[in-house]
Structure 1
Amino acid sequence: MTRQTARALRLTVFVGESDTWHHRPLYSEIVHRAHAAGLAGASVFRGIEGFGASSLIHTSRLLSLSEDLPVAVVIVDTEPRVRAFLPHLDDIVTEGLVTLDECEVIRYTGPGDDPGPADTKGENSL
């Protein structure tokens, strides 16, 4: 097993579970756009409780069921690729919060995996 490290940028988009884009969940639209843009990966995490600009607390507890739980879409790739993707969010995220965090990626590859070309600057691939 080989361990590779690289610098990256983490993009997190916080939206509501009930937010939609053309009758499709907004989080799903973000993931599909990230995939189409060729980004390294995206994951969606559903929150169990939270509040945002509305100051309303949304929770998954049984006695106060919510249909608009917080959702976080997390995308990690190189900084240039993430920044190039940001305009794809402009027309679909009408309410929400977007954060960018520098991070270090540790990628484990097996003996048969092709890690791709080596990139000493960490700008072209993860």
Structure 2
Amino acid sequence: MAQLSSIGLVVIFGLSRASIPIEYPTRERSVPLGLKCSYDFIIIGGGSAGCLLANRLSEVAQWNILLLEAGEDEPFTSKVPFFPRVSQKTRIDWNFTTTKQRNACLSNDGYCEVP
């Protein structure tokens, strides 16, 4: 019973923290932002695939590659398991959903939110 109430407190604390605006300090950029007039490749999205692709393309020294990532530094909650769920429906959420599901996410008309 004590474990159940502890879990409830953690969930309530997490949800209450999600509604409080927090200012996050931005990191000083270690890479200069000197943009060029043209690029051989422009990669949109700095996720795992985008970064991997940019890294592989940069092995050819003659190519100019630009990797674009939207947004700002991630909040500390993105590193904690389960807590990225509290980032849904915020300014860092792209509002992606699955295709309509027949037997899932019925409270959301069959569309599941993708974190």
Larger radius of gyration: 2
TM-score of the aligned structures, taking structure 2 as reference length: 0.24
TM-score of the aligned structures, taking structure 1 as reference length: 0.22
Bigger relative contact order, structure 1 or 2, given CA contacts below 8 A and separation 6+?
A: 1
